[in-house]
Amino acid sequence: MNKNMAKKEILRLREKINLHNYKYYVENNPVISDFEFDILLKKLEKLETEHPDLVTSDSPTQRVGGKPLDGFKTVKHKTQMLSLGNTYNFDELREFDERVKKHVGDAEYVVEPKIDGAGVALLYENGILVRGATRGDGIQGDDITLNLKTIHSIPLRLQGDKLRNVEVRGEVYMSISGFKKYNKEQEKNGEAVFANTRNASAGSLRQLDSRVVAGRPLDIFVYCTSYPDKEFDTHDETIQVLRKSGFRVNPLTKKVKNIEKAVKYCQKLEKLRDSLDYEIDGSVIKVNSIAQQHELGSTTKNPRWAISYKFAAKQSTTRLNDIDIQVGRTGAITPVAILEPVKVGGVIVSRATLHNFDEIHRKDLRIGDWVLVERSGDVIPQVVKSISEKRTGSEKQKSIPTKCPVCGSDIVHPEGEVAIRCPNKQCPARLKWRLKYFASRDAMDIDNLGGQTIDKFIDAGLVDNVADLYFLKKEDILSLEGFKEKSAQNLIDAIEKSKQQDLSRLIYSLGIRHVGKYAAQIIAMKYNSIGELSKASAEDLEEIDGLGDKTAEAVGTFFATEENIELMKRLRDIGVKTKEIKKEGLPLSGKKFVFTGGLTSLSRPEASDLIKKQGGLVVSSVGKDIDYVVAGEKPGSKYKKAKKLGINIIDEEKFRKIVQK
Ligand code: IVH
């Protein structure tokens, strides 16, 4: 293909990809399959590799950047990014309307949800995204263009010609479901979690490596323009134009005739609040006419034509009675607030996570303090701040522990991490976590081996590591309180049975950092045995499609450690299945399955095992690359998503046929 033809084809492909990207990420209504989409993208990538001079910054291939940055450049906004004045009741909102009326007469309003995320400004020149920045102090912010480009609902090139040179403003947020999933995964890997969705979005945008940002479930709603080539008559029209230009605008945005209608709509939004998959902390009421907006102008901080109505916070005050210390599976030490029980948004709260000691220090929390407790988006309760005015002088500071509260080892503070850790791998607290993890349903699935029994084993000195479980004798178990002949035998049988679990379960159950269920499956697909796996270097592992660098490194390190080598040897010698010869070309090789809803004829772990035995993979969330979604009874949101994406949805009967073939 000559250059001219290549150029034409590149432009044609980009236009097509942009259109389908928009349909998928903005309209939530894809019209081609993921496979077809990938083919378009691959074609474009190929042509751009052959003609690197034709690569432009707005090409859909440029969404994920290359090397991490050393720091962010500071950039000046086109016009100041103002913040909003707040009202907390409807009378204050009516007073705002009075002020508006006094200056410009009767006004129509637009009411929007106030998204609780991070404000950003997107600068377009000739229809191309040239810069994206944080709000910063309102005058200047950080240049986070590469990070913002990873958000697929931000157009790299504007559709149509209504807007060409413009700064568009909006709020980047993390969905509540995405946030919970992210934190769950972090917690499982012993990594820091975000306190709320706001921190999650702001924190993600501050990452220097855009590839990290690309993995975070971020999205955006845009809500106004600044510095447009042409102004529209009303805010409502601006919103419509933004929508037509390829942006995601909030579907709950509504034009109302007067302030009473605005009040009604604010009440409606507040009712809707808990049903949304994103956090809103209020609504924003904006004068609709742009001419009236100009007439009203702004103060140094806030526009006079817009105001927010803040929803009742899901907050309460109570006493911080104590700060407890927990040692996690990876040794991470987490302080936990022990609170005088209090009702927060309808739920009694008596404990709240404090995340880490930096946080206690930053919030200056002292034992005995009155504190403000918050629950947002049915997420774990948080201590927001202490109420220092209520101090009597008897409050006590909690010092950072220097010794592990469980085993007494000297605590370490690894560089670059916020968490402090107990470095003792044999610490009973860590051991308990590790064993519970090993025996859990998704891991070796040992029936009857719950947390309390494990505590008893460790306290009695019967087990020091997971391999010791397999050396337990019935008499050992009978020597513990609460066990009889039958229950002891059942437990022995269950432990014995778990020796035959498949390789992916064994890999998962070792609790290697970053190795979740999916990573364990793809590792087990590549290696036939623990022996083979332990010889693999991090570089070998990095070659596995879908396995991140951090995971590869963690696996490499795990199997290079002396005590883990010894542990693997003992597991193998006692008869735990550490080898699985895979027949080539299994019927479901590489096929990805997702479950939603309840199955009736078998359990999820059983169904997963059937898939894995035939070379398939079980994935937890629906994405473009899923081959089958198995819908059982009362399927959830994954079903809807699969339907939207046009993925093959099968019922339990069809599933059985596929796996029994
Ligand atoms: S309008 C001059 N609309 O709230 C207009 N802001 O406290 C200022 N926000 O910095 C912004 N949702 O980051 C507007 N629908 C919405 C919003 C919204 C969230 C944020 C934005 C702003 C802050 C104001």
The Cα–Cα gap between 74 and 445 comes to 52
In this predicted structure, what is the pLDDT of residue 186?
A: 81
In this predicted structure, what is the pLDDT of residue 231?
A: 84
Q: Which of 223, 273, 280 to mutate to test the pocket of ligand 1 (most atoms within 8 A of CB)?
A: 223
In this predicted structure, what is the pLDDT of residue 156?
A: 96
In this predicted structure, what is the pLDDT of residue 345?
A: 64
CATH number of 3-62: 1.10.287.610
The Cα–Cα gap between 247 and 283 comes to 20
The Cα–Cα gap between 516 and 440 comes to 13
Pick the CATH number of 76-310 from 3.40.50.300, 3.30.470.30, 3.40.50.720, 3.50.30.50: 3.30.470.30
Q: By alpha-carbon position, which residue is closest to atom 22 of ligand 1? A: 83
Q: Which of 79, 84, 220, 308 to mutate to test the pocket of ligand 1 (most atoms within 8 A of CB)?
A: 84
Strands across the sheet containing 254-256 = 86-87, 306-310, 280-287, 109-115, 254-256
SS3 46: helix
The neighbouring-strand residues paired with 310 are: 282
The Cα–Cα gap between 295 and 263 comes to 24
Q: In terms of residues, how long is the chain? A: 661
At the fourth CATH level, which superfamily is domain 428-573? 5' to 3' exonuclease, C-terminal subdomain (1.10.150.20)
Q: By alpha-carbon position, which residue is closest to atom 13 of ligand 1? A: 119
- The pLDDT averaged over each successive group of 10 residues in the chain (661 residues) is 92 94 88 86 94 93 83 92 92 96 96 96 96 94 96 95 94 93 80 81 93 92 88 94 96 97 96 89 96 94 94 86 91 93 81 88 93 75 90 93 94 85 91 94 92 92 94 94 93 96 94 89 89 91 86 94 94 92 77 90 87 86 89 85 89 90 72
Pure H helices in 77-117:
90-104
Dihedral in degrees, nearest 10, Cα atoms 431, 609, 606, 477: -30
The residues spanned by each domain of the chain are 3-62, 76-310, 313-422, 428-573, 592-660
Q: By alpha-carbon position, which residue is closest to atom 12 of ligand 1? A: 114
> Can you tell me which atom of ligand 1 is nearest the CA of 135?
10
Q: Which DSSP string do the residues of 115-171 spell out, in sequence order?
A: E-SEEEEEEEETTEEEEEEE-TTSSEEEB-HHHHHT-TTS-SB-SSSS-SSEEEEEE
Which top CATH class is 592-660?
alpha beta
In this predicted structure, what is the pLDDT of residue 376?
A: 65
Burial class (CB in 10 A: 0-12, 13-18, 19+), 44: buried
C-alpha 231 – ligand 1 centre gap (Å): 19
So what's the architecture of 313-422 in CATH?
Beta Barrel (2.40)
Say whether 428-573 and 76-310 share the same fold.
Answer: no
Type and span of the H or E element at 222: strand 218-226
Cα end-to-end distance, the chain, whole Å: 46
In this predicted structure, what is the pLDDT of residue 88?
A: 87
Q: Model confidence over 309-344: pLDDT tens digits? A: 998 777 889 999 999 999 988 888 999 999 999 988
The Cα–Cα gap between 182 and 189 comes to 11
